[in-house]
Structure 1
Amino acid sequence: MTEPLRVDRDRLMDSIDQLARIGAYDAGGVMGVRRLALSDEDAAGRRLVISWFEQAGLNVSIDQIGNVYADRAGQDPTLAPVMAGSHVDSVPTAGRFDGALGVLGALEVVRTLDDMNIQTKRPLTIAFFTDEEGCRFGTDMLGSAVATGRIALEHAL
């Protein structure tokens, strides 16, 4: 039996902690994160995560609504990718794991695969979607709705 893959918990938590510093607040001892969609804090968080994607050797692309995709090649490029991720924006009073865990957990899986020199059969894509929380512009899951065709890009803009 092969040994199960284990992510580097410390590296994952360090990534979560670094991202949580962007938009961090302390409301009388209650710690939280505020990275409203398309705010300066959201932009800074996006830049940080994209830099980690690039450091991991992923091919990064951004669609017209601002969704970010980071691709890792698989052995068979004709196969559809396995996608994981979430969002980097937050509600006004979020915890540090809100959205970040889905994105950074997926990144940590890719880092672990790279550390172990494991090539997957299918390509892998990490995605984070624009304005998933809907707190600023009134439409939640906006980026993923555009990505899946549920909302036309023209209506979203």
Structure 2
Amino acid sequence: MDRLSISRERLWRRLEELGAIGAYHDEVADLVGVRRLALSDEDRAGRDKVTGWMRDLGLEVSVDRIGNIYAQRAGRDMSLAPVMFGSHVDSVPTGGRFDGALGVLGALEVVETLNDAGVITRRPLVVGAFTDEEGCR
């Protein structure tokens, strides 16, 4: 198999789009970042954006009772335990644009790179986006 490379431009575009949700600029404190507290309107909008991308990539999306998002990409042997990767999209009150989001969007970029190359992994892959990872509400 040829060496695969992610698209930095595509990853950056998604980071910028998600980073615009809940974005703030506090000129007094000289802070720039995001405020997507868990279960807030901003968090819900961010989660909706991410689940849309997941579905666009052909992933099977499910949400558990507390709101954790799981997006599965089939593998050749579905009887095997999946490989799971991801993070969260909520933030602390003065969070950085990449905290958590990079883990989720980086995982999506890996999936899209595999899709583009026609690679089917042996094990299923699951991208996770966890609810209230920051625990600051």
TM-score, normalising length: structure 2: 0.96
Aligned to 2:16: 17
Between 1 and 2, higher relative CO (CA 8 Å, sep ≥ 6) is seen in: 2
Look up the equivalent residue of 1:40 and give its one-letter code.
D
Aligned residues between the structures:
135
Aligned to 2:38: 37
Aligned to 1:93: 94
CA-CA distance at 1:5 after TM superposition:
1.2
CA-CA distance at 1:3 after TM superposition:
3.4
Aligned to 1:57: 58
Q: Does 1:70 align with 2:71?
A: yes
Q: CA RMSD in A?
A: 0.8
Give CA deviations for 1:70-109 in whole Å, capped at 9, x if unaligned. Answer: 0000000000000000001000111110100000000000
| Structure 1 residues not aligned, in runs of 5+ | 137-157
Look up the equivalent residue of 2:88 and give its one-letter code.
H
Tell me, in whole angstroms, the C-alpha distance in 1 between the residues paired with 2:56 and 2:4.
21
Q: Does 1:82 align with 2:103?
A: no
Look up the equivalent residue of 1:27 and give its one-letter code.
D
| Structure 2 residues not aligned, in runs of 5+ | none
Tell me, in whole angstroms, the C-alpha distance in 1 between the residues paired with 2:77 and 2:8.
30
Look up the equivalent residue of 1:72 and give its one-letter code.
R
CA-CA distance at 1:4 after TM superposition:
2.0
Look up the equivalent residue of 1:96 and give its one-letter code.
R
